Structure 1
Amino acid sequence: MKTLDYLHLNENKVNNVVSALHQLLADFQVHYTNLRGFHWNIKGHGFFVLHSKFEDLYNDAAEKVDELAERILMLGGTPENNFSQYLKVAHIKEVSGVSCGSDAVEHILETYNHLIAEERKVIDIADEAGDVVTADLLTGYLKEQEKMIWMLVAFSTCSCEKK
């Protein structure tokens, strides 16, 4: 028997989930690499806070990469492991040379904007396939990312006015 037989999931329906997870995996791999670059290259005001936060974010992204790859395997797929292939399909683009904190934060916000939209699509596809585990996994990502967006927006928005 195949793993899917034990999971009570239809292979034809789950193939769409696997394809969507492949796309998300590629996007997360590029996101992870961009975060590493921000961590390494950040300078100036906010260095101590951002350097540490970017490390937290890339560690979180690395964990999600592993979870996505393992979910692809559980659903009968084979996750890609070549960065050259990720770059061919990822919607998130590589970023280099960013050392300004506000530029890095803006890029991260744009990336989360994309990831959240894609995750919502995958949740819909997973729901159609009866794959509540994938939907739940990505719902957890959304919960974390929505809070992180709120925090990053608060960090980058100064509403303190001198009276």
Structure 2
Amino acid sequence: MKKFTRTIVAASLLAGLSFSAFADFKAGFVNTDRVFREANAAKAAQTRLEQEFSKREKELIALRDNLKRGSDAFERDAPTMSESQRVTKQRDLVEQDREFQRKSREFQEDLGNRKNEELAKVLDQANKIVQQVAEAEQYDVILQEAVYVNPKHDITDKVIKALNAAK
């Protein structure tokens, strides 16, 4: 019985100590998706990407439209074409489609890579701001992903404001 009582007292003491240790624990949360949508640096990165890739996108749209027109014309004119003309036109359309698909894949890959580069720069800046806020306001931990966060722990607005003020 004495041993059981000592165990209960020790467990209560440990629970009290751990509760007092967590009483001073300060946690925060940053929604990186909101930072990417709302921060001026992220918006500027998006504008740079649009400017950088707009010409290629227009070229792809023109290629697609040209291919569509050619395909429509082929379907319309195929019954009146000779066999050799039909085969030649089909090969030409298949080649144009391959070229369009290749350029489209390259465009998507290049855009994805550049977007990742730009977002990495914004994330790096945001992480520095998060660290500054955490140190200034004495946070013990800042989370960037969570299933649920009480809004009182969300410091995203502070980070966005500080990120917009930097530069």
What TM-score comes out, normalization by structure 2 length?
Answer: 0.33
- Higher alpha-carbon Rg: 2
TM-score by length of 1: 0.33
Higher helix share: 2
Quick one: higher RCO (CA 8 Å, sep 6+), 1 or 2?
2
